[in-house]
Each structure stands twice: as structure tokens, then as C-alpha cells.
Structure 1
Amino acid sequence: MATTAPAKPHNAPPSTKAEIVDVRYPHKELVERLSPGGRYIDAQTDVDSPWVPFGDTAAIKHLAFDVRRNLFSNILWVKGPGVVGTHLHRGTITMVCLEGSVKYLEYDWVASPGGLILEVPGEAHTLVTDHPDGVKLFGWMEGPIEFYDDNGDFSFTADVWWFIEHYENYCKEQGIPINEKLYL
């Protein structure tokens, strides 16, 4: 019986050319015509997106809205020790802890800066930060998030449309132009 040698790992190709290279690939013209293109959103300042209050002790910096997939991205900032009430995810959530720390009462871990948080549809969580400076979480969220009160009764649903309205209403109230770069 013949055996095959294991494949060798590939290294990144060498490059010394610091200029745009014309890459030819199938459907390039369609991509150039129809793609919304890449973009940069400054998350360090309020140039591209302001901090929008989310309750009394938190704020959200909206980064992207994709209405086709009910997908949205933002940074959640809980400004000191506090809680974001119990919520049930109906889609996948991927977050990175940027500053501070956070935990879910339902788990035995605490996320710290650089830590990756993965959440699956169908689970309810109660987000808590005990850190004196609170927490900042960067997230990509897909699908609706259902929020519940302290008795477990349904309060409201936050989906891409809710997050767009949250952003746009604040901008209108503050006289801030709507940033079209946030819409994919």
C-alpha cells in the first residue's frame, strides 16, 4: 500500500512591491461595478460614528449595518461597573473585549482585553462588568436580540433595523450627519 507524504505548509508569498498590482480574476468587472467596496470606519474618534447612549450607563458606537443579513457591528461601552440586562440571541454573536473586563452570569469565565467571546443562537445571557472602568466590547452580531426584564418578561427586540433607528434618531437629535459608510 502506497503512502502519501503529508503536504508541506505554505508560507506567505514574498513581496517587495509596495504598489497596487493588477490582479486578474473571474468577474472582476462585476465586482467593480456592483460591490459597495471596502471602507474604513474610525472607531477611536467620533468622526465616523458618535457614542449613542444605551440606557443610563452605557453607549454604543455603531460601525456597520447590513440589512440583507440582519448583521450589525458596534462597540458597546459600559462606562463602569454595571449590567446589560438579560437578552436572548437569535443569531451568532462574535465579540472581542477591547478594554476592561466582562462576564456573563450564566458562565464561569471573565473576558479580558483581547479575549474572544462567541455566542450561539438560542442562549440567554446577563452581561455584567465589575471592572472599575467598565468594559468596551467590539462585536459582529447577526439576527435579533430579545431583551427581557427582571421578571423574565419580554421587553423588546433589537435587530439591524432597531440599531439603525437608534443611530439615526440620535444623529438627527444632535444635528450630526448620517454616515452612509456605515451601511453595507
Structure 2
Amino acid sequence: MSAAEAKNDGDRVKNNEKKEDKLADEYGAPDVYIDGEKDTCWYHWTGSIYVKMYRMENRAGTYVIALKTDPHAELGKHRHRGMVKAYTIKGNWGYHEYSWEGKPGDYVTEMPGTIHTLYMGAGSEVIFDVTGSIEFYNDDNTLREIMDGFSFWRMYVEHCEANGLKVNTGLYY
């Protein structure tokens, strides 16, 4: 490639980048900052487990929640229909079916279709980035309940309404 061809190719790339930047500015979704103390709150889910909603994105069916517990807690057997990413903030947690145990700073990826039983050690907090639904099973392996981002959003809204808190619609996009 000659110097002139290289310059023309570089100009073309630069022009395309400018056009793409303009499209992103015009049509792209804005960055979102959620202050974990001011913009959202903990609410009771089940047993000793509390949930904090960080994000509900209805177009892709993804949602980001944190779970925490003071005493040791267990969440029944369940299956994810989409990928789950987990970030351990504090404490320890894992699944009875696996040999690993998450500790602060650990990252876990869970593949769709896996069935497992969550446990969380006392004082644990974990953030889960979930896609799709979660199916919960009874001890006899019959389906008990299906939950998704709308379920967690509903619980958040109900908690806010019951406690006179303003629903932060900025968590839903």
C-alpha cells in the first residue's frame, strides 16, 4: 500500500469513527451511575435473605441484584434459563453441588440450564448480574415458582410503597 493509499484509508476510518460517534450520541443509551446507598435500598426477599435492586433492563431481560444475609442462609434448588455473573463483595457463598466457595473479590459465571442450591455464609453479600428467569424447585423436583427481573422489580416497588419511599425509576431502563 502506498503512502497516499494509507492516508486515504486512515481518513476513511477517521470519518467512519466520527459518523459512529454521532450515531452513538444521538441514539445510544446514556451511561448510568447508581449510588448504592442513595439510589436503591435493601428489601426482604425470603428467610434471612435481603435484596437490593441495581438494574432492571426489560429489553434484554437482564437485571442486577445484590443479595445479603446476616446469619447463614440457603436458597432452594433452582435453575437459571440465562447466564448469571456473580461478584462476591463480602463473606462466602457457593452451591452445595460444587466444590468451590466464593470469597471477597471472586467472580463466577454460571451457564444457562444449571441446577444448584445456593448457600450464603453469615455476613455475606454478593452481586448477581442475571439474564432471564430463575426456576425454583420443591424437594420432590416439581416446579414451585418462576421469577425474573419483573419479579424483583415488583418486590422493590411494593417495598417502596409500603415504606413511603420514592420508587427510583432510573433503575428500570
TM-score w.r.t. the length of structure 1 is 0.80
State the distance in 1 between where 2:50 and 2:146 align.
17
Match of 1:75 in 2: 66
The structure 1 residue matched to 2:23, chosen from 11, 15, 30, is: 30
User: How do 1:163-174 residues align onto structure 2 when only pairs under 5 Å count?
Assistant: 163-174=152-163
State the distance in 2 between where 1:114 and 1:65 align.
24
Identity of aligned residues (%): 26
Deviation at 1:31, TM superposition (A): 2.6
Match of 1:15 in 2: none
How many residue pairs were aligned? Answer: 157
- Please state if 1:99 is matched with 2:66: no
* 1:35-67 Cα distance to aligned partner (Å, 9 max, x none): 331121112x2x211101111301110000110
The structure 2 residue matched to 1:155, chosen from 144, 161, 164, is: 144
5+ long unaligned stretches in structure 1 = 1-23
Q: SS of 1:27's equivalent? A: helix
Runs of 4+ with >2 A deviation: 24-36
* 1:145-169 Cα distance to aligned partner (Å, 9 max, x none): 1111222221111112112111111
Q: SS of 1:163's equivalent? A: helix
Note closer, same or farther for the CA distance 1:80–1:25 as it changes in structure 2 (3 Å cut): farther
Q: Is the 8 A contact 2:83 2:131 kept in 1?
A: yes
More helix by share: 2
Paired AA for residue 23 in structure 2: L
Deviation at 1:139, TM superposition (A): 1.4
Match of 1:61 in 2: 52
Q: SS of 2:46's equivalent? A: coil
Q: Is the 8 A contact 2:73 2:122 kept in 1?
A: no
Paired AA for residue 132 in structure 1: A
State the distance in 2 between where 1:29 and 1:178 align.
33
Deviation at 1:178, TM superposition (A): 1.3
State the distance in 2 between where 1:90 and 1:79 align.
28
5+ long unaligned stretches in structure 2 = 1-16
- Please state if 1:132 is matched with 2:122: yes
